[in-house]
Amino acid sequence: MSSAAGTDPAAEPGRTPAVTVLPTQRGGWLVAIVALAVAILFPFVEGGAGDEGTMSIAFFVVIYMAAVSAWNIFTGYSGYLALGHAVFFGTGAYTLALAVKDWNVPAGWTTMWLLPLCGVVAGALAIPLGLVALRTRRHVFVVVTIAFFFIFQTLATNLSFTGGTAGIQVVSPPWTYPVYNVNFYYVGLVVVVATLALSWSVRRSRFGLQLMAIRDDEDRARGMGVKTTRVKLAAFVISAVPVGIAGGLFANFQNGVYPQGAFDPLFDLALALMGFIGGIGTLSGPLLGALVLESLQQKFTQIFSNDGLYLIIYGALFLAVLLLLPRGIVPSVAEQIRSWRARRGGRTAEAAAGSGLPKVAR
């Protein structure tokens, strides 16, 4: 099996075509640079850094961007739907809270240096969980990951060292608003960029090609020599690390961690919605899904308080996208653009041929 570098695996004979927006495509790097510049400058625009509510929403958006991009490394490339990544998010959150508490880590930037530890612990936990869950196939795998979530949620609620329902408090960084939100936003943005770079590296590697072979036909991939269990486990562990880092950053931002917030069933649902709406298996799709859905969710929560009405709007939006753009926003739009270019090219060729060659009477 040859390397994926410089080729599109979806174009290989016998493979299911997949629409994937990569930075190496025409204009892709320019779009990526412009998007990063906009993200960096966002706190300085009107209504950004001067608005605590806006920057709070922006922070949660980058948290979910990092988490769904990491989730996509496993689910989007392997085809295995994981609904238990809240386990890694909560593990990262509790790792940071316990480390700060037991090691008396000063609040502020010093606490941020614990974020890699949150990712390492989440990744280490993913090894035994993956060894168990990946012994099953796709549909059973979904159920197993959900079971893991409820097990860890129950443990966090009942174990003494987690603080039970009272949780664990984390000392707030000595930053004033709006600097507080801006600092957390930029740290989250760094995590997003690193996660996206990791996703791109996986997508363009031999390892990523093996993952997509599993997604298309696992039995055939095994017959071609792909060590499917090992490859899936590696992707599962890799995807857990950024999610754990995001969980640690979340706990630091919230000044504490609680079972109901760290192990939230809506977290896994949100990742799946963001991935499918934006375009699962693409680089930019999950980012777009997180930007749209988390922004709307935060805004609806502020407008409609906690009456749950935002969940109805959330669900209606998801159904609308599934009906109108079943493959997700990015793949569907990219396909429409390619079709339009093909039709335009065909009309241009016909016009050129018609002007250069006389018609033959029959």
- CATH number where 318 lies: 1.10.3470
Question: Is 90 in contact with 216 (CB distance < 8 Å)?
Answer: no
- Asked, for residue 121, whether it belongs to a domain, the answer is yes
For 78-123, the pLDDT digits (tens) are 999 999 999 999 999 999 999 999 999 999 999 999 999 999 999 9
The residue segments making up the domain with residue 39 are: 9-17+35-345
Question: Is residue 25, in this structure, part of any structural domain at all?
Answer: no
Number of structural domains found in the chain: 1
pLDDT for 23 equals 43
Q: At 194, is the secondary structure helix, strand, or coil?
A: helix
Spatial contact of 289 and 278, defined as CB atoms under 8 Å apart = yes
Is residue 112 within 8 Å of 90, Cβ to Cβ? no
CA 299/CA 304 separation, integer angstroms: 9
In a domain, 350, yes or no: no
- Separation between Cα atoms, residue 254 and residue 357, nearest integer Å: 72
What is the tens place of the pLDDT at every residue in 132-153?
999 998 899 999 999 999 999 9
Residue 151 located in a structural domain: yes
Whether omega for the bond prior to residue 178 falls within 30 degrees of 0, making it cis, is yes
Its sign, for the CA torsion 283, 228, 234, 265, is positive
Cα separation, 211 vs 82, whole angstroms: 15
With a cut of 60, say whether residue 64 has pLDDT above it.
yes
Amino acid at 107: A
